[in-house]
């Protein structure tokens, strides 16, 4: 254990006896990329030492401190790998393992496998950011990083991956070349791709509520869309209980908005009032935050 780290912890305890150390955040990093056959012992040590030795020094120096957070900033590279970064992936993998070990012996420990962040080593490196984005790893901005960190601390898992993915690029340019990752992640990627397609369809569908409602009424009631005015009553174009149920189900399947049958069967319900109802429901959905 480094004497300097041990002394620093002791000095903090002496100077602030009523404010003991409650959290440790380890974010040290050094890069030296190269093909595996060109990475000698010194190049591995250069990249491993800040993360491995740094984490161990903090681990041993705080063993007798009741820290509530022991957070290691790891990388997505230890999870999916990265060309020419075997040493960096190994260093981050150690952090992941150390945090699992600490949790197993009853200590605090969280490893966060960060994806590309627009700060530090990657700040404004547009060329490298585009290279990563082509692989499906999108750069996160500061507000996103702050929010993700907050959620990680609240979630308190031993290890969490935090990354913005372009799932199509990830599937085509990473998983297609790595059978092991393909087995681990393909189901997740395919599910997210399906979800994204559904979201884009819904967004496009709801871009014009007037046209959407007019189109549904036209199809269900066999009436020309150009014959429908904003104040056209649903009852006037033949919406009865059966057609109302059909319309209700169709709107729910395509938009996720459940329009009550009594609304559709209301003799005063018009194309305009139904459009307004859909808009309000959609705005309520967009303004809600899910944690």
Is 187 inside any structural domain? no
CA separation for the pair 60, 7 (Å, rounded): 12
Question: Are both 159 and 210 inside the same structural domain?
Answer: no
- pLDDT over threshold 50, residue 45: yes
CA separation for the pair 113, 75 (Å, rounded): 4
Question: Are both 16 and 100 inside the same structural domain?
Answer: yes
* Per-residue confidence (pLDDT) for residue 130, from 0 to 100: 81
- The stretch 79-88 carries a mean pLDDT of 86
Between 273 and 185, residue with greater pLDDT: 273
- pLDDT over threshold 70, residue 283: no
For position 141, which CATH number holds? Answer: 3.40.50.720
Instruction: Please choose, from the candidates 71, 66, 63, 62, the residue with its C-alpha nearest in 3D space to the C-alpha of residue 153.
Output: 71
* Per-residue confidence (pLDDT) for residue 194, from 0 to 100: 62
* Per-residue confidence (pLDDT) for residue 257, from 0 to 100: 82
Among 37-46, 71-80, 110-119, 220-229, name the one with the lowest average pLDDT.
220-229
Question: Are both 158 and 214 inside the same structural domain?
Answer: no
Question: Are both 20 and 116 inside the same structural domain?
Answer: yes
- Contact indicator for 87, 48 with CB cutoff of 8 Å: yes
- pLDDT over threshold 80, residue 256: no
Q: What is the pLDDT of residues 184-203, one digit of tens each?
A: 676 666 666 566 655 555 55
CB within 8 A of 246, min separation 6: which ones? Answer: 220
* Per-residue confidence (pLDDT) for residue 291, from 0 to 100: 29
CA separation for the pair 16, 35 (Å, rounded): 47
Is 123 inside any structural domain? yes
DSSP letter string over 38-89?
G--HHHHHHHHHHHHHHHHHHHHHTTTS--SEEEEEEETHHHH--TT-HHHH
- Contact indicator for 280, 272 with CB cutoff of 8 Å: no
Cα dihedral across residues 177, 179, 181, 182: positive or negative: positive
State if pTM tops 0.85: no
Q: For residue 282, give both structure tokens.
A: 């959609």
* Per-residue confidence (pLDDT) for residue 144, from 0 to 100: 94
* Per-residue confidence (pLDDT) for residue 188, from 0 to 100: 66
Q: Which domain holds residue 264?
A: 206-286
Question: Are both 143 and 219 inside the same structural domain?
Answer: no
- The stretch 148-166 carries a mean pLDDT of 93
- Contact indicator for 57, 98 with CB cutoff of 8 Å: no
- Contact indicator for 216, 237 with CB cutoff of 8 Å: no
Is 185 inside any structural domain? no
Domain termination residue (choose one: 106, 139, 165): 165
Report the domain count for the chain.
2
CA separation for the pair 6, 11 (Å, rounded): 9
Question: Are both 139 and 30 inside the same structural domain?
Answer: yes
Highest mean pLDDT among 25-39, 44-58, 260-274: 44-58
Please name the residue that has the structure tokens 């599937």: 171
**Gyration radius from the chain CA atoms:** 28
- pLDDT over threshold 90, residue 54: yes
* Per-residue confidence (pLDDT) for residue 286, from 0 to 100: 44
What rounded mean pLDDT belongs to the chain? Answer: 85
């Amino acid at each position: 254990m480094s004497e300097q780290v041990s002394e620093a912890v002791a000095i903090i305890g002496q100077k602030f006896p009523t404010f003991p150390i409650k959290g440790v955040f380890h974010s040290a990093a050094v890069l030296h990329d190269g093909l595996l056959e060109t990475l000698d012992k010194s190049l591995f040590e250069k990249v491993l030492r800040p993360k491995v030795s740094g984490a161990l020094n903090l681990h041993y120096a705080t063993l007798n401190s009741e820290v509530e957070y022991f957070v290691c900033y790891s990388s997505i590279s230890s999870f999916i790998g990265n060309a020419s970064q075997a040493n960096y992936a190994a260093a981050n993998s150690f952090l992941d393992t150390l945090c699992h070990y600490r949790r197993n012996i009853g200590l605090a420990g969280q490893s966060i496998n960060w994806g590309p962040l627009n700060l530090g080593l990657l700040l404004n490196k547009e060329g490298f950011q585009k290279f990563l984005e082509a692989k499906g790893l999108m750069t996160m901005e500061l507000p996103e990083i702050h929010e993700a960190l907050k959620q990680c601390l609240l979630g308190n898992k031993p290890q969490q991956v935090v990354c913005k993915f372009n799932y199509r690029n990830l599937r085509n340019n990473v998983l297609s070349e790595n059978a092991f990752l393909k087995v681990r992640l393909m189901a997740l990627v395919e599910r997210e791709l399906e979800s994204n397609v559904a979201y884009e369809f819904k967004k496009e569908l709801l871009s014009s509520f007037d046209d959407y409602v007019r189109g549904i009424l036209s199809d269900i009631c066999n009436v020309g869309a150009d014959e429908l005015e904003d104040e056209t009553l649903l009852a006037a174009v033949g919406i009865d209980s059966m057609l109302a149920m059909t319309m209700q189900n169709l709107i729910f399947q395509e938009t996720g908005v459940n329009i009550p049958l009594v609304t559709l069967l209301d003799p005063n319900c018009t194309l305009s009032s139904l459009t307004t109802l859909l808009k309000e429901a959609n705005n309520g959905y967009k303004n809600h935050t899910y944690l």
